Amino acid sequence: MSSHPDRDMMSDMETDDIKTLISWLQTRVTLDAGESVSISFAEPDAGEFSTKGFDDEVIKITLGSPWWPEMVTDVVETPEYAEPGESPEHILTYAKDVVSEYVRKRLYT
């Protein structure tokens, strides 16, 4: 038996669906490279998940999970962990990688 409840719930979600979810969420991560670099995450609501074709179970194990707000915070705080002089584009890539890592760790079985 899996020790991770989200993974137990995702047993029916296909790898391609998870990749689609990750790709879609990564498009919602944006860069503002003004005086200082900041990252935004346009957090989708349940309706946007549905519009993209994700079912209620996917909504529940993402938006309704305890790891979701933690992921959002880590995404927008990515610039705080960047090395001095790191390019804005690299910081954006790191922030998108945060999304991928969170989803992969929790949804792949």
State the Cα–Cα distance between residues 33 and 12, nearest whole angstrom.
40
pTM greater than 0.75 (yes/no): yes
The 10s digit of each residue's pLDDT in 13-51 is 678 889 999 999 999 999 997 888 999 999 999 999 999
The 10s digit of each residue's pLDDT in 42-78 is 999 999 999 999 999 899 999 999 999 999 999 999 9
Domain of 21 in residue numbering reads as 5-107
Q: How many domains does the chain have?
A: 1
